[in-house]
């Protein structure tokens, strides 16, 4: 397959679909973009989030160390591909609370809302729950109250308030390798108190779409398109060899995002390449962020591969929306 040279167009890392590839999403030819040992202390760097920042990009990276302790690190890039990740983890100051306990941090997402970058992650507080913090400059970071009671994972903020309130997707879970999981939405007037919890979408019946029949979780920050909020999510099947994580897309109603308008029956990407199938946890594709340009009709999706490295995939937003509408569960 012939790949075009990667070009930077309107701030989005981009590579055209390879000749002969008929899939709606295609992988970057030089994946993985971040190797497991990109900083001296790391065992693995995956499930990480990036945003446009100044004249390039910033990110918050999950780097598990060689004691396999999970923590999050800031990083910077000019092109979205080559990253300089700080060698020390993020140190949080007190935000809207003095209770900033954290046994571990993993699977960050980053969302710019109004005047600052909000970070959500899976925070260890008597088990996993959703931690929240913010930064203006990716140098100083402030930690806020946890959003929910334990146990919860995959907290993903919407990039703007909905009906005057912050909105967050999350996935109530257990304290282990959760064998269930549906996506909920919650609202907050102030990023401290969360309520109005509503179920958004559930794992699917096995016979309808088996790749997402065990559990599902929100992936990247939703993108507003004409049809509503386009959201990439992960879906899991429990096979005879363990969990297998793939990626799908859903479109949620713009004003009432607990209403699912469309949701892909087929996956968009499943673990198929060596770096997705082989690693510390085989067979994992886990999206946590995307960069997009509505004008250019482009999206670049960042995902963790096999809980080991960070990879990139591309798609045309209009094609993904059309595919999601035409192949909806």
Tally of residues, the chain: 329
How far from 65 is each of 72, 83, 104, 105, 179, CA to CA, in Å?
Answer: 10, 18, 12, 12, 26
CB nearer to ligand BMA: give 12 or 183: 183
Strand ranges (E), 159-279 = 166-172, 183-188, 195-201, 215-218, 223-225, 228-239, 242-252, 260-263
Contact region for ligand BMA (CB under 6 A) — 71-79, 96-104, 134-142, 280-288?
A: 280-288
**What residues does 12 pair with on adjacent strands?**
9
SS3 210: helix
* Binds ligand BMA by CB under 6 A, chosen from 133, 155, 235, 304: 304
CB nearer to ligand BMA: give 62 or 292: 62
CB nearer to ligand BMA: give 107 or 145: 107
Reading phi first (left if > 0) and then psi (alpha if -120 to 50, else beta), residue 200 is in alpha
How far from 288 is each of 47, 60, 111, 238, 304, CA to CA, in Å?
Answer: 6, 10, 11, 21, 8
Q: Does 307 bind ligand BMA (CB under 6 A)?
A: yes
* Binds ligand BMA by CB under 6 A, chosen from 113, 162, 210, 281: 281
CB atoms within 10 A of CB 23: 15
Is 177 exposed, middle or buried, given 0-12, 13-18 or 19+ CB atoms closer than 10 A?
exposed
Q: Does 49 bind ligand BMA (CB under 6 A)?
A: no
CB nearer to ligand BMA: give 173 or 324: 173
CB nearer to ligand BMA: give 204 or 214: 214
Determine the Cα–Cα distance for residues 292 and 80; give it in Å rounded to an integer: 12
- Smallest distance from ligand BMA to CB 8, Å: 29
- Smallest distance from ligand BMA to CB 243, Å: 6
Q: Does 64 bind ligand BMA (CB under 6 A)?
A: no
Is 37 exposed, middle or buried, given 0-12, 13-18 or 19+ CB atoms closer than 10 A?
middle
222-251 footprint of ligand BMA as x/- string (CB under 6 A): -----------------------x------
How far separated are the first and last CA of the chain, in Å rounded?
31
Contact region for ligand BMA (CB under 6 A) — 77-85, 136-144, 269-277, 281-289?
A: 281-289
Q: Does 284 bind ligand BMA (CB under 6 A)?
A: yes
* Binds ligand BMA by CB under 6 A, chosen from 36, 44, 107, 324: 107
161-200 footprint of ligand BMA as x/- string (CB under 6 A): ----------------x-----------------------
Determine the Cα–Cα distance for residues 305 and 285; give it in Å rounded to an integer: 5
* Binds ligand BMA by CB under 6 A, chosen from 141, 142, 286, 303: 286
Q: Does 270 bind ligand BMA (CB under 6 A)?
A: no
**Token pair 């859903």: residue:** 250
Q: Does 143 bind ligand BMA (CB under 6 A)?
A: no
Q: Does 303 bind ligand BMA (CB under 6 A)?
A: no
Dihedral angle computed from the Cα positions of residues 51, 277, 268 and 239, in that order, rounded to the nearest 10 degrees:
-120
* Binds ligand BMA by CB under 6 A, chosen from 44, 47, 212, 270: 47
Residue 133 in contact with residue 157, Cβ under 8 Å?
A: no
CB nearer to ligand BMA: give 26 or 245: 245
Contact set with ligand BMA (CB under 6 A) = 47, 106-107, 177, 245, 281, 284, 286, 304, 307
């Amino acid at each position: 397959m012939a790949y075009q040279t990667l070009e930077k167009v309107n701030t989005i890392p981009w590579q055209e679909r390879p000749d002969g590839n008929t899939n709606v999403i295609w992988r970057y030819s030089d994946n993985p973009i971040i190797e497991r040992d990109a900083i001296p202390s790391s065992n693995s760097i995956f499930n990480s989030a990036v945003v446009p920042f100044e004249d390039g990009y910033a990110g918050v990276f999950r780097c598990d160390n060689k004691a396999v302790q999970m923590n999050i690190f800031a990083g910077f890039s000019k092109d979205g591909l080559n990253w300089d990740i700080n060698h020390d983890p993020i140190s949080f100051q007190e935000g809207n609370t003095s209770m900033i306990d954290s046994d571990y941090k993993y699977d960050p997402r980053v969302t710019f809302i109004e005047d600052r970058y909000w970070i959500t992650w899976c925070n260890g507080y008597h088990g996993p729950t959703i931690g929240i913090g913010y930064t203006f400059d990716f140098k100083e970071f402030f930690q806020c109250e946890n959003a929910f009671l334990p146990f919860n994972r995959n907290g993903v903020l919407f990039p703007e308030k909905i009906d005057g309130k912050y909105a967050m997707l999350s996935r109530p879970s257990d304290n282990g390798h959760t064998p269930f999981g549906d996506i909920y939405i919650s609202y907050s007037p102030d990023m401290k108190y969360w309520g109005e919890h509503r179920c958004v979408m559930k794992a699917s019946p096995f016979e309808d779409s088996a790749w997402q029949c065990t559990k599902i979780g929100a992936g990247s920050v939703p993108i507003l398109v004409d049809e509503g909020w386009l959201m990439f999510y992960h879906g899991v099947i429990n096979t005879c060899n363990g969990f297998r994580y793939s990626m799908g897309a859903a479109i949620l109603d713009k004003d009432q995002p607990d209403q699912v308008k469309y949701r892909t029956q087929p996956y968009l990407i499943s673990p198929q390449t060596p770096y997705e199938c082989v690693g510390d946890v085989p067979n994992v594709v886990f999206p946590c962020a995307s960069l997009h340009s509505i004008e250019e009709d482009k999206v670049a999706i960042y995902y963790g591969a096999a809980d080991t490295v960070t990879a990139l995939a591309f798609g045309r937003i209009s094609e993904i929306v059309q595919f999601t509408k035409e192949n909806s569960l």
